[in-house]
A and B are shown apart, each in its own frame.
Chain A
Amino acid sequence: MIEFVKVTKKFGPVVALDDLSFKIEKGEFVFLTGPSGAGKTTLANLLLGKFLPTSGKIFLGQEEIPRSLAKIHLLRRKLGVIFQDFKLISDRTVFENIALPLEIMGRKKAEIKDRVGEVLRQVNLGERINFFPAQLAGGELQRVSLARALVAKPEVLLADEPTGNLDPESAWQLIKLLKEINKLGTLVLMTTHNIDIVNSLCERVIKLEKGRLVKDEKKGKY
């Protein structure tokens, strides 16, 4: 589903990722760990097509991530993404934020309404549909972000430090939701520093240090 083949990313003289190769299959739950500066965010950004690898190839499904940044939006429609800082549009309501990926894909209004209602129930936020982001708590904001990531039914969900800004209770609620989504067949790749979460779940752990893969365990610990 996701495959990195000898991927290197350099920023000038700085090597952010060094000859990285791994493969993640459909339906897996994978933690991407490592200290600050290990290359986790670079890896997530490469997967999002924010920039291109210096060398090597990245595959999402059967397709290689496009070399042309002009076509990258088509790749991003196949990925669901949640971020540490939520990245919600402040002057749009919960409904409008979640509906965004479907509107971009040109789906019909009735279909959008049904699907947004469905994911809002999934993340337990049905009653907040007309609220603006400023009216929500941190945990709720992350659940809105998750609902937006799931609305287009992606096969891959990329979660970049999603619990970084959350209190422990909200963080565990989010993890529970991610596990439920994973059980339905979605590949979840989550970058994190949270030792408790990684150690409790006993899922696959890929660890990076100084841009290199130092550990890849099926039932790993931090």
Chain B
Amino acid sequence: MGHFRTALVHIRRAPYQSLAAILVTSLTFFVASLFIFLAAGSLRVLNFFETRPQVTAFLKDEAKPLEIENLKSNISAMENVREVKFISKEEALRIYREQNKSDPLLLEMVTANILPASLDVSATSLEALGEVAAFFKKQPIVEEVAFQEDVVATLSRWTQAIRTTGIWIISFLFFISLLIILVISGVKIALRQEEIEILRLVGAGTWYISWPFILEGVIYGAIGAMLGWGANFLVFLQLSPFLNSFLAEIPLLPVPPIFLGLTLFGEIAVGILIGVLGSLTAVRRYLR
């Protein structure tokens, strides 16, 4: 009987212990996947807000093209300014129509004249946004300044908080999974003492006896990781329609298949590592 087959026999002979190990590992990887998806998603949202125009200066109707051009040049010359874009009244109307094309009521009565022209500015750092906004406010041709500093700063804080919380919770759950695999492997070794003694008497070395227990840990880790990831993926699929409407223009969906594949294989690798560490520790501790 090969080591892998022996490991499967061990699992079949003590199904409840095996189920406990797989379920705990699945729960760990479900939570791990949740935080990985959440962290990646929030990073993408943050990135979206960072790269779109962050300061918009709405211009007075009486602003002359030359004045607008001068203002644009002055802003472009400022340090840490990435892009300055002029949005004319006509373009503003086109954008408005595009955004509200599903609601004809909002399109009625709106003409280019009621919408102001604007200058959209994106910067490379949050600090630069403050300077740009302050500069705009001093300009006589500027009617109003819209400034997204708070949104980006808040998102940035949230992303960091999700990462930190995730790392702590995942580390704790990984530790619990490791302990459960260690305890269950230890119990199985204790239950199989007679078989182990017979194996030793007919010439089996420590590694020959250990392999099935180590492979059992590997099976728990790998199956747990796949189930945890799969459950998380199903939850994500269920939430997709809601996320699509909630996130509107933020291009979060569809999630790239390469990201899904990488997280799955990464989690399986970590699962196998936890299984090996747990069972190997049990083998070293209890197999004498």
Mark A residues whose CB is within 8 Å of B.
Answer: 48, 70, 73-74, 76-77, 81, 87-89, 91-92, 96, 99-101, 103-105, 148, 152
Contact = CB atoms under 8 A, between A and B. Distances in A.
A148 B202 contact: yes
Contacts of A103: 1
The contact size tier of chain B is 10 to 19
Contact of B205 (A73, A81, A91): A73
A96 B199 CA distance: 12
Contacts of B9: 91
A96 B1 contact: yes
Given A91-B9, A91-B13, A92-B1, A101 B198 contact: no
Contacts of A148: 202
B199 A100 contact: yes
Given A91-B9, A103-B1, A104-B208, A81 B201 contact: yes
Contact of A104 (B13, B197, B203): B203
B193 to A, nearest CB: 12
B202 A76 contact: yes
B1 A81 contact: no
Contacts of B195: 89
A-B residue pairs, 6 tightest by C-beta: A77-B203, A76-B203, A73-B205, A104-B204, A87-B198, A101-B202
A89 B200 contact: no
A148 B201 CA distance: 11
**A interface: dominant SS:** helix
A160 B13 CA distance: 31
10 contacts: A76-B201, A81-B202, A89-B195, A89-B199, A91-B9, A91-B13, A96-B1, A104-B203, A104-B205, A104-B208
Q: Which of A73, A81, A88, A152 has the most CB of B within 10 A?
A: A73
A104 B1 contact: no
B198 A73 contact: no
A91 B9 CA distance: 9
Contacts of B198: 87-89
A100 B13 contact: no
Contact of B201 (A48, A91, A92): A48
Given A87-B198, A89-B195, A91-B13, A101 B203 contact: yes
A111 B199 CA distance: 20
Contacts of A70: 206
Nearest to A148: B202
A15 B277 CA distance: 43
**B interface: dominant SS:** helix
Contact of B203 (A92, A96, A99, A105): A105
Nearest to A87: B198
Contacts of A81: 201-202
Nearest to B207: A73
Given A89-B199, A101-B203, 12 more contacts: A73-B200, A73-B206, A76-B202, A81-B201, A87-B201, A88-B198, A96-B1, A99-B1, A100-B199, A100-B204, A105-B203, A148-B202
Contacts of A104: 199, 202-205, 208
Contacts of A100: 199, 202, 204
Contacts of A74: 203, 205
A92 B198 CA distance: 12
Nearest to B13: A91
Interface string B1-43: 1000000010001000000000000000000000000000000
Contacts of B203: 73-74, 76-77, 101, 104-105, 152
Contacts of B205: 73-74, 104
A36 B202 CA distance: 26
Interface in B168-203: 195, 197-203
A99 B5 CA distance: 15
A96 B9 CA distance: 13
Contacts of B199: 89, 100, 104
A146 to B, nearest CB: 13
Contacts of A96: 1
Contacts of A91: 9, 13
Contacts of B204: 73, 100, 104
A91 B206 CA distance: 21
A97 to B, nearest CB: 9
A91 B208 CA distance: 18
Interface in B199-257: 199-206, 208
A41 to B, nearest CB: 14
A99 B2 CA distance: 11
B207 to A, nearest CB: 10
A70 B13 CA distance: 29
